[in-house]
Amino acid sequence: MKIVEIKVLRGPNYWSVRRTKLIQMKLDLEEMEQRPTNQIEGFRHRLEAMFPTMIEHRCSVGTRGGFFERVDEGTWMGHVIEHIALEMQTLAGMDTGFGRTRGTGNEGEYYVCISYMEEDAGVYAAKAAVRVAEALADGKEYDMAEDIMRMREIREDTRLGPSTACIVDEAAKRGIPFIRLNKHSLVQLGYGVHQKRIRATIASTTGNIAVDIACDKEETKNLLDAAEIPVPKGDVVRTEEGLKTEIEKIGYPIVIKPIDGNHGKGNTTNIINWDQALKAFAAAKEYGRSVIVEKYITGFDFRILVINYKFICAALRTPAAVTGDGQHTIQYLMDEVNKDPRRGYGHEKVLTQITVDQFTQKMLDDLGYTLDTIPAKGELVLLKPTANLSTGGTSTDVTDEVHPANIMMCERIARIIGLDICGIDIMVNDLRSPVKENGGAILEVNAAPGFRMHIDPSIGLPRNVAEPVVDMLFPKGSAGTIPIIAITGTNGKTTTTRLTAHIAKTAGYKVGYTTSDGVYIQNQLMMKGDCTGPVSSTFVLKDPTVDFAVLECARGGILKSGLAFQNCDVAVVTNISADHIGLGGIDSMEQMAKVKAVVPETVFKHGYAILNADDDLVYAMRDGLSCNIAFFSMDEYNPRIVKHCRDGGYAAVF
């Protein structure tokens, strides 16, 4: 078998308007075209042994085990590869299930389409599925574990983190479109002049000065102390002499951490002697010249989340740990904890697996323990110095237990620092009484606080913390969109696009439009060439000066990667003719019409599809559309036009 080509579809496309994330693989089965599954001895047995969970694939049969029934009856390898690629993604923590396999018209050649969650992992799954299918057909051993692990690594490297993803998901629920602006966590919500941006959980509304203050622990501490907010005693040091002087002043136990660290990097807690202090000082210095030395506050680690200067929720954070049973080693106990089905690789599940790193080793060394030590029954052995979920910690929602005085204090802290999305770390025995009265202290104020502990707590109610973020960015139900008119067809697209853009400009809009000769922003040529694909459309939708988009959408772009937008307000289809037939797997006028029909199928319910009533294929596109329909015709007596207008519809005639 041979992979001819692979395309990544990222928007409404030829295969599906609703399922916008698809991998399209053109596959040549070669000699396997003559070997359906029921003619390959032992194939069903080997397939089921490798993928027992495929019993859930219903396939066209529609019942549990339906796919295996198809394998027994005899199906072609393209269909099998479709199911293998989907199942491999699911096993790698990306549960997706839409697939479709269709012949290209050439013998032995098929389009295999599969949905994906992360496109790089989807492409890997498509290629790996071909290797797996070949091994199964030949009766060879195949170790799939390496592929699954590689796909997990790709997923963690490329996907949005849980905090950013939950904001994007909340925006999408409200019909707010988004564009990922880089390979990391910078995302645009909305289009054109109405766009807002987020990076992790920092928003475009977040003040730069506030972020600078929050990243400078000394500055934060000084501001809070001056405002009578309880903070630990301590100071910034840069040398071992300064460290010694500060310890003499505040006494043990102490905490040492870098002045501008995050996620607990370089932090060491509960230091009780000079040797430990020197090691911790060196660890903190790896992240910067200046180090904070503070009195170690005993109690529990709480995180308060304040959004738009209002208290949202609170969580108790517990570091990764094991509890001794008097019989088993720390390594055994850790392995047992990691068997919890809620723990996974990276951010794939509610909890992260506990791993042994230098911080774990140090904590065990301080206790005089190794991984082979058998702790006493009931003894709690901490394995990480901080309670971050990304290092195996757990969280418990305590939102309903926070004292009103603490709520007021945290909202005041957010105002003092100036952070509209603010995570406040408090060390205290509990939050049911005022922190000022129970000996607790504010340890840190965080810009870009993690949301994972709140949206997926280990214990307690999950909180939709993305909702107040989106409310803040898009108040009063704004969808953050601009009017989009999409124009397709075989001939006349560019002329229609230019005329429409001119009308909108005359009406006072700042128009961005795409044509077959370039991209224009407010009548200025920005990109030259055939710009009728999704890259050019995205260019217009990303431009922060544009408040009206007119987008020419040609066949090539739709087939190559889909449309750049999920919905438009108006779609115009000029006509369907024989131009470009035989290219890109489109071999008939009917297939070409199906490609062009993708555009009107994306029109909002309140919008309009404007169709050519003189063209049978274009006129037929009205069937199945849920939006309003308008027609145009060169014949004012066209019976289709006459009936449509008699029924109260709109039409334009020559």
pLDDT in tens, 265-305: 788 888 989 999 998 999 898 887 889 898 888 888 999 99
| pLDDT reported for residue 65 | 92
**The pLDDT value given to residue 28:** 96
pLDDT band at 149 (very low <50, low <70, confident <90, very high): very high
pLDDT at 7: 96
The pLDDT value given to residue 347: 67
pLDDT tens figures, 23-63:
999 999 999 999 999 999 999 999 999 999 999 999 988 89
Residue 507 pLDDT > 70, yes or no?
Answer: yes
Residues of the chain with CATH 3.30.1490.20: 233-295
Over 70: is that where the pLDDT of 582 sits?
no
Q: Where in the chain is the domain with CATH 3.40.1190.10?
A: 484-653
Neighbours of 478 (CB within 10 A): 13
Amino acid at 258: P
Is 631 in a helix, a strand, or coil? strand
Place of tokens 């723990």: 343
More confident position, 366 or 617: 617
Angle subtended at Cα 337 by Cα 333 and Cα 342, rounded to the nearest 5 degrees: 175
Rounded CA separation 171/160 (Å): 14
Residues 6+ apart with CB under 8 A from 596: 488, 489, 490, 555, 558, 573, 576, 618, 621
Residue 166 neighbours by CB distance under 10 Å? 23
Give exposure, 489-524, as e/b (b: 16+ Cβ within 10 Å): bbeebbebbbebbeebbeeebbbbbbbebebbbeee
Of residues 478 and 606, which shows the higher confidence score? 606
CA-CA distance, 530 to 556, in Å (whole number)?
Answer: 11
Region 621-626 average pLDDT: 93
Tally Cβ neighbours within 10 Å of residue 642.
16
pLDDT, tens digit (0-9, with 9 covering 90-100), for 213-268 = 999 888 999 999 999 999 988 888 999 999 999 898 888 889 898 887 666 678 88
pLDDT at 189: 97
| Ramachandran angles phi, psi of 628, nearest 5° | -70, 155
Query: Rounded to the nearest 10 degrees, how much is the dihedral formed by the CA atoms of 510, 516, 519, 523?
Result: -50
Per-residue model confidence (pLDDT) at position 264: 67
CATH of domain 484-653: 3.40.1190.10
Give me 649's structure tokens: 């519809």
Q: Which residues contact 279 (CB under 8 A, 6 or more apart)?
A: 268, 362
No. of helices (H) and no. of strands (E), the chain:
22, 30
Q: How far is CA 307 from the centre of its chain?
A: 21
**Are residues 77 and 39 in contact, defined by beta-carbon separation less than 8 angstroms?**
no
- Which tops the pLDDT comparison, 346 or 428? 428
Residue 345's pLDDT is: 78
426 DSSP assignment: E
Collapsing DSSP to helix, strand or coil, 10 comes out as coil
pLDDT the model gives residue 581: 75
What percent of the chain has pLDDT above 90?
A: 74
Average of per-residue pLDDT values in the chain = 92
Residue 348: its pLDDT value, please?
66
Mean pLDDT of 602-628: 96
Strand, helix or coil at 230?
coil
Mean pLDDT of 12-32: 95
CA–CA gap between residue 87 and residue 24 (Å, rounded): 16
Q: Are 248 and 310 in contact (CB under 8 A)?
A: no
Predicted pLDDT of residue 350: 66
Q: How far apart are CA 103 and CA 643, in angstroms?
A: 40
pLDDT of 286: 87
For the stretch 338-371, pLDDT in tens is: 888 878 877 666 678 888 888 888 888 888 899 9
pLDDT tens track for 58-81? 998 889 999 999 999 999 999 999
Nearest to 310 by CA among 192, 414, 186: 414
Domain at 233-295: CATH code: 3.30.1490.20
The answer, yes or no, to whether residue 580 has pLDDT greater than 80, is no
Q: Determine the average pLDDT of the residues in 83-104.
A: 94
Q: Which of 290, 222, 276, 218 is nearest to 247 (CA)?
A: 276
| Nearest Cα to Cα of residue 179 among 448, 542, 532 | 542
